[in-house]
A and B are shown apart, each in its own frame.
Chain A
Amino acid sequence: NAGVMQNPRHLVRRRGQEARLRCSPMKGHSHVYWYRQLPEEGLKFMVYLQKENIIDESGMPKERFSAEFPKEGPSILRIQQVVRGDSAAYFCASSGLQETQYFGPGTRLLVL
């Protein structure tokens, strides 16, 4: 049973480009969470999704960031027109009926 998969593991973008981060939850999990870890900071919640629904996006910046979890396929975190301040590690977690959230290895985004 594969764990939470994230790709790419490392992503380099120039300012103004788009970044797409993918997360495949553990088999059988229908809840997906995205978190961001800025350098020297703790993990901060961004968005919570279930299949085809955004449940809580209170941690998402109002502009340039969006997330989806379609009926088929991985969850996508999309950052438009990236800026240097977007450089961070982005982690995805999934859970099933049980409470425990299982985390992926993260995507490390570097904006040049």
Chain B
Amino acid sequence: KQEVTQIPAALSVPEGENLVLNCSFTDSAIYNLQWFRQDPGKGLTSLLLIQSSQREQTSGRLNASLDKSSGRSTLYIAASQPGDSATYLCAVKGSQGNLIFGKGTKLSVKP
């Protein structure tokens, strides 16, 4: 049974700092991995999707890497801003098409 773990559960950094969020999964037989952002009381916004054959994806200040063999992904956020404050969710796609989520990392960027 696939399990997804995210560490740390919460992170507080000063504005401008570069940071890394971690995601690990127990079954390396994944189709893809997706990073989302969730603001309080809101839905999920897709940030990056990495196919199982890919190693990384970049969008603006965000870079996500995937190491399928070790069951790990990282989300790198450069030059963090207060507007980046949110909960970041990692999800892997199972064999049936559904996503399996971690519990998230709650990020707070202090001005």
Measured CB to CB, the residues of A under 8 A from B are 4, 31, 33, 35, 41-45, 48, 55-56, 58-59, 91, 93, 99-106, 108
Contacts and interface: CB of A to CB of B under 8 A. Distances in A.
Given A43-B91, A101-B99, A103-B45, 16 more contacts: A42-B89, A42-B103, A45-B98, A45-B99, A45-B100, A48-B97, A55-B97, A56-B98, A58-B96, A99-B51, A99-B93, A100-B49, A103-B43, A103-B44, A103-B46, A108-B41
19 contacts: A31-B97, A33-B98, A42-B89, A42-B101, A42-B102, A42-B104, A45-B94, A45-B99, A55-B96, A55-B97, A56-B97, A58-B96, A99-B49, A100-B34, A101-B34, A101-B46, A103-B43, A103-B44, A105-B43
B1 to A, nearest CB: 11
B45 to A, nearest CB: 8
Interface string B60-85: 00000000000000000000000000
Task: Name, among B31, B51, B94, B99, the residue most crowded by chain A CB atoms within 10 Å (CB to CB).
Answer: B99
B22 interface: no
A95 to B, nearest CB: 8
Interface residues of B, number: 26
Contacts of A104: 43
A5 to B, nearest CB: 11
A108 B41 CA distance: 9
Contacts of B97: 31, 33, 48, 55-56
Contacts of B102: 42
Contacts of B94: 45
B3 to A, nearest CB: 10
B30 to A, nearest CB: 11
Nearest to A58: B96
Contacts of B100: 45
Contacts of A4: 43
Task: Name, among B45, B98, B103, the residue most crowded by chain A CB atoms within 10 Å (CB to CB).
Answer: B98
Task: Name, among A42, A55, A93, the residue most crowded by chain B CB atoms within 10 Å (CB to CB).
Answer: A42
